[in-house]
Amino acid sequence: MRSHRSSFAPTPAEVGVRPYLLTRGRTRANRAIAVEALVETTDRGRAARYQLRFEEQAITVACETVASLAEVAAVARIPIGVARVLVADLTEQGIVCVYEAPARVADDVELIARLIRGVRAL
């Protein structure tokens, strides 16, 4: 019997391998980045965008306007752990800048709304 499975959809084995390849086997970022931390593409990142890997390009596009790490993961369609590792790498290269969330996240209504949208997009 023939399978009607799309050739573009990853197999169950590929789903686990791809994040491993994207992070070069790392499961933790060199720097702790909170899910609600805000990320923005720098001028250097905009200039270097087309020299980056596909997922890194997606992150720089997602961060053209300030976005939370959760939003970045949703827009780039990558797991949050992978987004955390890649954003940390891009921060070290000066491609993106990470801003820690305000001390009282509960008072930042816009941040909470963006986080909710990011989670829904997952």
Q: Are 117 and 84 in contact (CB under 8 A)?
A: no
* pLDDT at position 28: 57
Report CA 31 to chain centroid distance, whole Å.
14
Taking only the tens place, the pLDDT of each residue in 47-69 is: 998 998 888 888 999 999 999 99
Tokens 């300030």 belong to residue: 66
pTM above 0.85, yes or no: no
Judged against a pLDDT cut of 50, whether residue 10 lies above it is answered with: no
CA gap 27, 75 in Å, rounded = 20
Between 31 and 13, whose confidence is greater?
Answer: 31
